[in-house]
Amino acid sequence: MGLFDKFKKVEKIETQRTHNLGGCIITRSLYEGTSKLKWIFREKSANSADNGWRALGDSDTEEYINVPENNLVVDFDRLVEIEPAVLAIYDMPVGTDLVFDSQRRVFIDSITGKEYR
């Protein structure tokens, strides 16, 4: 997706680490609870502190995510607090691109349509 490549400034929000799963980028709407997880993908990380996961909410538009202040670097643990189901996909490889169906509690591969629970 590469949507985050253009950001020079991304706010870092601290949370208490419980699993030491590294940092990820999520939208402010997910962090603040104004949207629910909808899209999650994994990019090659720039450093060992970044696990490569990027998460977007169901109300996030391209215009919204293009504003650097609407994207936050958080511990993956914070994303787990928001949506615990992400622990099931944590080990998936770089290039993973999933849609989360919150009603059925299932991840769907954007390319193959395969479901992950």
- Look-up: residue for tokens 């998936």? 92
The answer to whether residue 76 sits within a structural domain is yes
Any domain includes 34:
yes
pTM for this model (two decimals): 0.82
Distance CA 51, CA 90 (A): 9
Residue 39 forms part of a structural domain: yes
**Residue 84, CB-side half-sphere exposure with 13 Å CA sphere:** 0
Residue 4 lies in a domain: no
Q: What would the pLDDT profile of 25-79 be if each residue is shown by its tens digit?
A: 999 999 999 999 999 999 999 888 999 999 999 999 999 999 999 999 999 999 9
Per-residue pLDDT at 41: 98
The answer to whether residue 8 scores a pLDDT higher than 80 is no
Name the residue with tokens 């080990």.
Answer: 91
Question: From CA 5, how far away is CA 43, in angstroms rounded?
Answer: 10
Domain count, the chain: 1
In a domain, 88, yes or no: yes
Residue 7 above 70 pLDDT?
A: no
Percent of the chain with pLDDT over 90: 79
Q: Which domain holds residue 101?
A: 11-116
